[in-house]
Amino acid sequence: MLHQKFTPAIFSTVIKPEHSDRLVSIITPTYNCAKYIGETIKSVQSQTYQDWEMLIVDDCSSDNTNEIVQQFSETDTRIKYICLSSNSGAAVARNHALKLAQGRWIAFLDSDDLWHSDKLEKQIAYMKKINASFSYTRYSEIREDGEHNNKIISGPKKIGRIRMLAYCWPGCLTVMYDRKKIGLIQIPPIKKNNDYALWLRISHKAPCFLFDKTLASYRKRSGSISSSSYISLIEWHYKLFREIENKSVFSAAILTINNIFWGIYKKLIYTHRL
């Protein structure tokens, strides 16, 4: 059961059956991010490419996230707010937003991260230029207070299916794909690594290309999933390969070990200090 907080005008926009070739659907799951989500929305509103909709799916926040979002959605009908009736995890939130999305281009932005103002314009132009249907970009890291920590994270120029199995190279806040070519993607309701599960599904259909520009800022927060203990991360990676990718016990274990190796490699090779 979902509680959808729409005005009639906004709701009619969401259920519109046709998909615009110019429209970007921005997928934003959120949970108790009232402190940051306003800044995230502003980074979308400041885009030089203005043909977008932002689907914010609230995973039953207990803070005033809804009030913050409403301040923006009341004056900008491109912002759609949907609140789940119970806490279900980011995978469920992303799946729901993907079903509602009307755009040809699907982009992802978590509710505490930021985009540079030219992110959409430049990335779409790049994808059209090389005829790519799946891409990602470099991103910088910022601290909780928004100050830069002088790190830029990149990755391989081309990530095929095998390379995607080796490691989750793309930063979620940088990914974009062409739904006209990829189609609707849904994943099981896993609590962690659900963005990686998405990229693995898409990698069956297309390789992911790096647009080698820094176009987003990832907020590194204490207590976030990405800051979990290494043991917990290893367990969740194994679960992803064993249960979601349906690999054998042996293959899942090998892929998990492989991920540890390539994770270290990424920190050494693709993390740059300014």
10-52 residue pLDDT tens? 333 343 445 589 999 999 999 999 999 999 999 999 999 999 9
Domain ranges of the chain: 2-225
Q: Higher pLDDT residue, 211 or 225? A: 211
| Predicted pLDDT of residue 18 | 52
Q: 229 pLDDT band (50/70/90 cuts)? A: confident
pTM, two decimals, is 0.90
| Predicted pLDDT of residue 147 | 87
Mean pLDDT for all residues in the chain = 90
| Predicted pLDDT of residue 87 | 84
Task: Answer yes or no: are the C-beta atoms of 36 and 8 closer than 8 Å.
Answer: no
| Predicted pLDDT of residue 107 | 98
Pairing of strands 158-159, 2-4: unpaired
Task: Answer yes or no: are the C-beta atoms of 179 and 269 closer than 8 Å.
Answer: no
| Predicted pLDDT of residue 223 | 59
Q: What angle do CA 174, 22, 80 make, to 5 degrees?
A: 70
Tokens of 178: 């062409």
6 pLDDT higher than 70: no
- Rounded distance, CA 187 to CA 202, Å? 11
Pairing of strands 176-178, 134-142: antiparallel
pLDDT, one tens digit per residue, over 120-132 is 999 999 999 999 9
Task: Answer yes or no: are the C-beta atoms of 23 and 102 closer than 8 Å.
Answer: yes
103 pLDDT higher than 70: yes
- Rounded distance, CA 231 to CA 216, Å? 29
Task: Answer yes or no: are the C-beta atoms of 91 and 98 closer than 8 Å.
Answer: no
Q: Domain 2-225: which CATH class?
A: alpha beta
57 pLDDT higher than 70: yes
Question: What is the percent of the chain with per-residue pLDDT over 70, rounded to a whole number?
Answer: 91
The stretches of the chain forming alpha helices (DSSP H) are 8-14, 34-45, 65-73, 90-100, 119-130, 161-166, 179-182, 194-202, 230-239, 249-269
